Amino acid sequence: MRAVEKAYEAIRAGIADGRFAPNTRITEQEVAAAAGVSRTPAREALRRLQAEGLVTFTPNQGAVVTSWSADDIDEIFELRVVLESQGAYRAASRATSKQMSRLKELALAYEIEVHTAAPGYLERIATLNSDFHRELYNAAGSPRLNRALAALLETALVHRTFWSYSPEDLRRSAAHHTELAQAVEAHDPEWAGSVMRAHILAAKRTLTR
Percent of all residues in the chain with a pLDDT value above 90, rounded to a whole number: 50
For 3-65, CATH number?
A: 1.10.10.10
Q: Residue 72 — very low, low, confident or very high, per pLDDT cuts 50/70/90?
A: confident
Average pLDDT for the chain: 89
Residue 98 has, within 13 A of its CA and on its CB side, a CA count of 1
What is the pLDDT at residue 15? Answer: 78
Residue type, 198: A
Q: Are 66 and 25 in contact (CB under 8 A)?
A: no
- Specify the pLDDT at position 30: 87
Note whether 3-65 and 70-208 share their fold: no
CB-based contacts of 135, cutoff 8 Å, min separation 6: 99, 102, 103, 106
Amino acid identity, position 178 = T
Average pLDDT over residues 101-130: 94
Q: How far apart are CA 17 and CA 14, in angstroms?
A: 5
Least confident among 34-43, 51-60, 103-112, 181-190: 51-60
Average pLDDT for 123-143: 92
Residue 57: which H helix or E strand, with range?
A: strand 55-58
**Which pLDDT value is given to residue 162?**
75
Q: Find out whether 157 and 68 touch, Cβ atoms under 8 Å.
A: yes
Q: How far is CA 114 from CA 125, 152, 160, 207, in A?
A: 8, 24, 16, 18
Tell me the domain boundaries of the chain: 3-65, 70-208
| Residue pair 189/93 in contact by the 8 Å Cβ criterion | yes
> Tens digit of pLDDT for each residue in 150-197?
767 766 556 566 777 899 999 999 999 999 999 999 999 999 999 999
The whole-model pTM stands at 0.78
Lowest average pLDDT, out of 50-59, 125-134, 170-179, 188-197, goes to: 50-59
* CATH class in words for 70-208: mainly alpha
CA distance 181 to 80: 19
